[in-house]
Amino acid sequence: MFAEIMEKFEGSPGQQAVIRLLLERGFSVNDEGRVVSGDIEIPYTQVAQEAGVDRRVVDSTTEAILADDELTRIFQNISQIPSLMDLAPVLDLHVVTIAVQDADEPGIVAQVTGLLADRGISIRQTISEDPEFTDEPRLYLVTDEELPGEVFTELADMPFVRSVELS
């Protein structure tokens, strides 16, 4: 789906940058063509600065979104999910970051979370990056407790795992 969305903006790298930012951050476009997070409006200048484009590119992108029924359905229904990753040190939680060989392989999340569940490790949050949005997608797990060494080793030894980091 991401490729189809980006294809609609293939003639404009600037608009593609705005689209990528909206999708990565979970920003919506309301009926008035304003970029929003929930009911909070985000100024075009801020979106433009973050995307590395001119404010007018943001305006033309939101106009294009509202002119396309499929894009309108997508961008009026997207939302953010709060992440515990940045709060982990403050809340005495732990983050496990897993890079995989092929993020499209089915069952990765199930195998990783199953291993932790089998070892009695509670997972507070799981976030997986979409392989269409990033070149090297990762799986993040926020846990209540630090991983024992043997669990770390078992994760690292899974055939689809490239690397495991703890923080």
Q: What is the Cα–Cα distance from 163 to 138, expressed in whole angstroms?
A: 10
Backbone φ and ψ of 52, nearest 5°: 75, 35
Which of the listed CATH numbers 3.40.1180.10, 3.65.10.10, 3.30.70.260, 3.20.20.30 matches domain 94-166?
Answer: 3.30.70.260
What local confidence, expressed as pLDDT, does residue 152 receive?
94
Give the chain's length: 167
- C-alpha distances out from residue 162 to 88, 98, 151, Å: 23, 7, 16
What local confidence, expressed as pLDDT, does residue 103 receive?
85
What local confidence, expressed as pLDDT, does residue 1 receive?
75
Q: What is the Cα–Cα distance from 156 to 162, expressed in whole angstroms?
A: 7
Average the pLDDT over 52-77 and give the result. 97
Q: pLDDT-derived band of residue 75, with 50, 70 and 90 as boundaries?
A: very high
- Of the candidates 12, 79, 84, 85, the one whose C-alpha atom is nearest the C-alpha of residue 51 is 12
Q: What is the Cα–Cα distance from 135 to 141, expressed in whole angstroms?
A: 19
Average the pLDDT over 60-66 and give the result. 98
Segments in the chain forming alpha helices (H): 2-7, 13-25, 44-51, 55-67, 69-75, 108-118, 149-156
What local confidence, expressed as pLDDT, does residue 102 receive?
87
- Of the candidates 119, 111, 117, the one whose C-alpha atom is nearest the C-alpha of residue 159 is 111
What percent of the chain has pLDDT above 90? Answer: 84
Question: Each residue of 24-61: pLDDT tens digit?
Answer: 899 999 999 999 999 999 999 999 999 999 999 999 99
Q: What is the Cα–Cα distance from 31 to 144, expressed in whole angstroms?
A: 41
The structural domains of the chain, with segments of one domain joined by +, span 2-75, 94-166
Backbone φ and ψ of 119, nearest 5°: -95, 5
Indicate the pTM of the whole model: 0.74
Q: What is the mean pLDDT of the chain?
A: 93
* Angle (CA) 39 44 47, round 5°: 90
Question: Each residue of 117-157: pLDDT tens digit?
Answer: 999 999 999 999 888 777 788 999 999 999 999 999 999 99
